[in-house]
A and B are shown apart, each in its own frame.
Chain A
Amino acid sequence: MKILGILMASAVAAFAAGDVVLIQNADVYPINSAPIKGISLLIQDGKILDMGAKIVAPKGAMVLDVKGLRVYPGMIDSATDLGLEEIESIRESVDTGEIGDFMPQLRALSAVNPDSEHFGVVRVNGITGAVTFPSLGGRGGTGGQLISGQAALLHTDGWTWEEMEINRSVAMCLNFPSAGGRGGRGGGGGMPADMQDMLPGAVGAAGNAQRAVLDQIAKLNTFFDDARKYQKAKAAHLPGFHPDLKFDAMIPVLEGKMPLAVSAARANTIHDAIAWAEKQNVKIVILQPREIAKAGPELKAKNIPVILGRVLALPDNEDAEYDQAFTQPFEAYKAGVKFALGTFTNEFVRDLPYQAATAVAYGLPHDEALKALTINPAEIWGAGDKLGSVEKGKYADLLITDGDPMDVRTQIRHLFINGKEITLSNKQVRLYERYSGRQ
C-alpha cells in the first residue's frame, strides 16, 4: 500500500516534456565524481542545464524537493531485445533474427515498438537506456546469421522510436564463427574450452566443425573484401556505379566510425576475433565473453571493451567453478578491461542492478558496479558526452531513490527520462492495483 501511495503521488506530480524543473535538496551521486549532498539540479529541454548549491528557480519552473533522497544517472542495459520481442515463444511477436547470413543493412531501431509493455516494466526499475540488438546470438529466425544488422541505443520512453533514439546505429552485430557452444544464455552448452584446444585437426565431427568455422571466416573475409571494393568504387564515382544497401551499411564500419559488436564466448574465439579485427582494421566490442581471466590481458592490451552477459548464470561446464559467472565482472575489473553489463534478453532487464550487486558480492568494487551500469556503457557505445552520469549538458535521465539502486530494498521515488518525469506505473502495477481491490 505504501508503494501505491507513492505511485499515485508521483502520477499527480508528473511534469511534462519541455517544462523547466528544479530539483532541490538532492544528494547527487554523479558517478564520475564524489557524491554531493543537498544540491539543486535544473532541467530544461531534456538536459541538465545546471547543478549547484544555490540555483534560483526560474520563473514558471516546477520545483521538486527531494530532501533525503538520492539522485543517480539512469541505468543502461547494453544488450536487450527491447521493442523487438514481446512474447518469447510467439514468433509473430518477435522481430529479431532475420533470414540471411549478411544483413548489415537491417536496423533494429525502426522495428522498435514504443508501446511494448516491456518498456514500462523496465523503466520503473531505473533502466532509462538500452541497446536493442537485431539478433542476440542468433535467437529467433534462422539463427545462422553472421552479420545481423545494426543495434540501437535508445531511451526506454518516447512516443515513437524516433523520439526514443539516442543513436540509431551504435554497432554492427557479428556472430563470430566458433566451433563450441556459445555459452551465452546461461552457458551449459558446448564443449569445455580446454577440450576444444585438443581437438585433432581433421578427425571426425570435431574436424568438420573446425572446417565449418574456417569456411565461415572465409565467407566473412570475402564479404569484407567486397565491401571495401564497393567503398572504393563509390568514393571514385566510377561510371555505372550502382548503390548496394548492404555494402553502404558497411562503410561506417570500414571507416572505423561504428564498432562491430562481436559475440564471442570462449577465450580462443575472443583471441581469433581480435586477430581477425586487427587484420580487417575494424573496431570491436566483445559481447558475452565467458573466460575473462584468460582473455583479459589481450583485451586490455588492445583496449577492447566488453559487454558481460548475465552475472546470474550457470557455469559453462559441469566442472567449472560454481561462481564462475558471478566473478566475471571482478575478473574484468582486475584485468583492467572496460566493461558494461547486458542481460541479453528482455525478461531480466529490470534485474540489471541486482545482477550488478551479485558481482559486488563476489569481489567487484561497489563504485565499479555502478559505472558498469551507467558511464561505462555510455562511453562504450559512443555516447559518453550525452549520458551515463549526472553532469551539466547531459540528458536528464535520472533516478531519484531512497537508497542504493542495486539494493533490492530500494524504491525509486521519481524517474526522469529525457527531462520528462515518468509516471512510475505500468501494466503490472495497474493489474496489482485492480486486483488488490478485489473483495
Chain B
Amino acid sequence: MKKTLLAVLVTLGPLCAETIVIQNATVMTVGSKGTFKGSVVVKDGKIAEVGEKVMVPAGATVIDAGGQYLIPGIIDCHSHIAGDGGINEGSVSVSSMVNIRDIINPDDIAIYRALAGGVTTANILHGSANAIGGMTLPLKMRWGKSAQEMIFAGATPGIKFALGENPKRSGNPQGGRGTAVPVARYPATRMGVEDVIREAFNDAKGYKAEWDAYDALVARGEHPLAPRVDLKLQALKEVLENKRYVHVHCYRADEILMMIRVADDVGFKVRTFQHVLEGYKVAKEIAAHGAGASTFSDWWAYKIEAIDAIPFNATLMMKKGIVVSLNSDDAELMRHLNTEAGKAMKYGGATETEALAMVTLNPAKQLGIDKTVGSIEVGKDADLVLYDGFPLSDFAKVQKVLIDGTVYFDRDKELVAQAAKEAEKKRLIDKEKASQQRTQPVRRPNQ
C-alpha cells in the first residue's frame, strides 16, 4: 500500500527544481525591466537571469515560449480555499485565538484549480463572522505537498477583522434561521462592532503591560512568575508589537474611516482593507493611514453594503496613492484574477503594468513578501506563469505555472492526464456497477 502511494506521488508530483530557460517570451516583469521580448533563467528555484539575450547554462531545460507571455505568479490577497471544514468561528465576537494554520487541507482540489489559473500564493483568511476573527497566513500553491510545506516561509502572519453586515448579523434576531429563537450575539450594529474592537485592544494593552513588565524583570536577570498566557490576547499583543498584520474586511466608507481612527487611537496600523468597496470614497484617509486596499474588480449589489460599489474603485484608489490589489474571496474567481486585473484597464484606464501589479507585486507588498515574490527580478523566487496570449485578456489561458522553479501545472500534461483519469474513473464505476448487480437483492412489489 505504502509503495503504491509513493509511486502515485512520484508520478503526480511536480518535477524537482532544475535549471530552466524560458525563451522568446514576452516577459511582463512588473519590475525594473518592464515588459520585453526575451528570456528568463531559473536556477535553484530562483530567478537567475532576466534579459533579451541570455546564455543557456549547460544541462538546462529550454522552454520555447514563442508567442507566449510570461508574468510573475499571481498572488491572491484574500482566499478561503484549503481550509478543512468551516473558517468561521462564529460563536464569539473576538476569535483571535483560532488559527488557519491549524486547519490547512493540502488536498483541497481548489488549490490545484487556483494553480491552473496562475495563482502561486494565496493569503488564507478566517471568515467574517466576528469583529476580530482568526489568525491568517499566506500559502504557496505547492499542490502535492503537505500542509506544512505549503506555508509561505518567513511571511508575517495576519489576523482578520470584519466590519459591517457580517459581524453584526449574529446579533440580529432576524439573521438567524431555524425554529429555535437564535441567541443574539453582541454586536448587532456598526457601533457595537467598533466597541468590540476597542474593548479587545483595551484588554490586549493590559495583557501586554503585564508581559512587558515580566520581560523587563527577566531581562534584569530576575526570576518572576510569568503571567498567564491568553491565546486570544496574545494575537492582539502581536498586532500592537507590529508582528502580525491586520486585514480588515469592510465595505462602507463610514466603517473604513472608523477603523482608521480606532487604529490611530490604539496605536497600530491596518495593513490592508479587504473588499473595501467604498474605499474610493475615503481614499485620502486610507492613503494617509498607509494601509493597502484589496478589492473586487466589479462585484456589486449582492447585499446592501455593496450597493455603492463601482468597478472604478481599484484605479481610483490607485490614483490616490494607495497600494491596490484585486482579490478573489472565491474559489472560482480565483482562477482568473489575471482578467480581473484586465478590468482595471477598462474601468479607469490603468496601464498594463499597473493592472498586472494589482494581482502580483501589489498583493506581495500588502503581505510583506515583495522581497521574494511579486515580480520577475533576479534573486526572487521563480514563481512564474506562462500564458498563450496577452494575459490580461480573457482570450489567454495558462499554459505552465512554476513555483520555486518547479513546474506545478502544465496544460499539455493536464490534458493527457484528463484522458487517463476519465478512463480510470470509467473502469472503477463499471467495476462497482458489476459488483452491485451481483449483490443487489431482488426487489419485490410494495417493498
Contacts and interface: CB of A to CB of B under 8 A. Distances in A.
Interface string B332-366: 11011001001101111100000000000000000
Contacts of B113: 314-315, 322
Contact of A361 (B332, B389, B432, B443): B389
B264 interface: no
Given A198-B436, A202-B443, A432-B348, A354 B303 contact: no
Given A428-B311, A431-B308, A435-B281, A90 B443 contact: no
Given A118-B301, A361-B394, A361-B395, A428 B345 contact: no
B332 to A, nearest CB: 5
B399 to A, nearest CB: 11
A435 B335 CA distance: 31
A331 interface: no
A358 B394 contact: yes
Interface string A194-215: 1101101110000000000000
A370 interface: no
B395 A407 contact: yes
B303 A90 contact: yes
Interface string B274-313: 0000001101100000000000001111111011111110
B414 A322 contact: yes
B432 A354 contact: no
B425 A319 contact: yes
Contact of B393 (A347, A350, A408): A408
B17 interface: no
Secondary structure of the A contact surface, majority rule? loop
A347 B332 contact: no
A406 interface: yes
Number of contact residues on A: which range applies? 35 or more
Interface stretch (A61-69, A81-89, A227-235, A380-388): A81-89
Contacts of B339: 354, 358, 408
A357 B395 contact: yes
A367 interface: no
Contacts of A361: 388-389, 394-397
Given A201-B443, A361-B397, A408-B393, A428 B301 contact: no
B235 interface: no
Most buried by B among A88, A323, A406, A435: A435
B304 A435 contact: no
B447 interface: yes
Nearest to B279: A435
A198 B443 contact: no
B395 A89 contact: no
Nearest to B306: A87
A281 B226 CA distance: 82
Interface string A370-383: 00000000000000
A201 B298 CA distance: 46
Nearest to A121: B300
A1 B316 CA distance: 10
A150 B281 CA distance: 41
A265 to B, nearest CB: 17
B7 interface: no
Contacts of B312: 428-429, 432
Contact of B345 (A194, A315, A409): A409
Contacts of A89: 302-304
A351 interface: yes
A360 interface: yes
A432 B280 contact: yes
Given A428-B312, A431-B310, A432-B316, A411 B346 contact: yes
A220 B397 CA distance: 44
B109 interface: yes
Nearest to B417: A321
Interface string B395-429: 11100000000000000001000100100011001
B429 A88 contact: no
A406 B301 contact: no
Interface centre among B283, B284, B332 (most CB of A within 10 A): B332
Name the 6 nearest CB pairs between A and B, nearest first.
A357-B394, A408-B342, A428-B310, A432-B312, A89-B303, A361-B397
Given A86-B301, A347-B302, A432-B316, 11 more contacts: A312-B333, A312-B335, A314-B113, A322-B112, A347-B301, A350-B298, A407-B393, A408-B342, A431-B310, A435-B280, A438-B281
15 contacts: A198-B436, A202-B447, A312-B336, A314-B331, A315-B113, A318-B109, A347-B300, A354-B394, A355-B394, A360-B394, A361-B395, A406-B394, A407-B395, A411-B346, A435-B316
